[in-house]
Structure 1
Amino acid sequence: MNIAEELLENEQDLASKEVLIKFLSTRYDGDIEKFNRAWNLALHSFGELRKGVKRASKLSKKASEDLNEFSKMMIKAYVEIPSVACKRVDPHHMNLGMRYAYIANENLLAGYENFDVFSINCYKITPYEDIEQIGKITGMPVMIGEFHHGALDRGLPATGIRGVASQQERGKAYRYYMETAAISKYFVGAHHFTLNDQAALGRFDGENFQIGCVDICQRPYHEFIEGIMQTNRILYEAADGRRANYDQPPKEIPRVGF
């Protein structure tokens, strides 16, 4: 997604759009004809950009490059401004990042130098490759903000984002996920989502996933919890290389959910 393109499409008076117009004017030395040739447009002034331009990144290669660069600048500002402000008033606590849903392209890493830890969600069978990719680019510790695996053998009727065959397979999924993650030198931990199954009638957006350690009546999923306990007993040893990690991926099923 090119957020600068979306900004330019907006016909409202926006402070961010004014900065974008100034950025483009400066880049093209205030020469509207030079800009028109690069973008395949026929404007009389840079001020006409305030009216909005649809799908501007498709106009030319140069337009795409300009908007991509400004998108990166916007992302960096979005990250940097609150991070610097928080560090100013609270310099002795770690900044754990913004818990990105996923990294669609490297522009989303802009401003990462303001974090102490880079946090992402990762709904895969193993997060190892994602952790390694981000860790190598940033040189930072990486933390998983969300993951889960659901099953249909009991409890609620939706697996959530990742489905496996049974509660026992959920235990295996947890082990495989956490212990393969631990192999990466960048991995510093993960937050399982969540302790409880979601409400049977759905939360605010309709999610009613069987993804908890306990069901809606607070009864534990013993097979799943056993998998958690097995991993937590040896995780540091696996991370240190003193013990082989669990290497058996779970049996997946198609996800059920919206």
Structure 2
Amino acid sequence: MSGSDNMITYSTAAYFGNAGITTRGPNEIVAYCQVHNGGLIGLDTAGIYTGSPTDHGAQYHHNWVRDMREKCIRGDDLSANMTVHHNVMANCGEPNGDVRRDGIGLVVKGLGHVIYANTMINCQRVSRCMPACGSPYKPWDCHGNTCPLLIIKQNVDTLYFNNAQHNQTGQMCGCGATGDATYAGGIASGIFNGTEADMKLANPREMDYTPTQTSPLVDRGVIKPPYTNVYVGKAPDIGAYEYGGEVWKPGCAIHKDC
């Protein structure tokens, strides 16, 4: 999808060689889509993908991105002002696969992002890749004889809250051997670190990612207006679903004409 201010909703992209849905313009929206079994030929790809200062303001919400050979959702070099919320990223990467096929749930580079209420399970390498280092020079970021101002420090103002992730930190992406390579950028709060079993989801094997009543995700999120204005209970839940709230489902299969 290219242009600006466009939207893809209630669509399914499956069994593809490279990226599933790519947005190439400002303020593009991908919502209530299901993307699965992708990246079957290409390398260094993702289920839903953007990247570049001209692609600012992408909004990815209420999507399932699952069973990818490597990355699930990606905001690549010089991304800006992305909003990523209420997505499930499951089974990102191949167990014991090619080391180039990074099993990462979410990659967010650049500045100014708001990332909240996502569930990431079974990511083979790491759930979140949010580099804190400066953005490295890459020839393809330059257009003609002009090169955009490279970011000295990425994700200094990125908000990251109420996300459930099953493995975190260790090796971060895109930083090489700099001192910022060992930790994630962003301002984090209300994060749950644990396995799929620890999260006590209803039935993720059958794609029911809602928390059960005894889940440690329930009422454990932080309140951060205006993003968390609607919730059930004493506080927002952590992750993509609210216990007792809407059980939304993405993809074209929920429509009779698909």
More strand by share: 2
More helix by share: 1
Same fold? TM cut 0.5? no
Give the alignment's TM-score, normalised by structure 1. Answer: 0.25
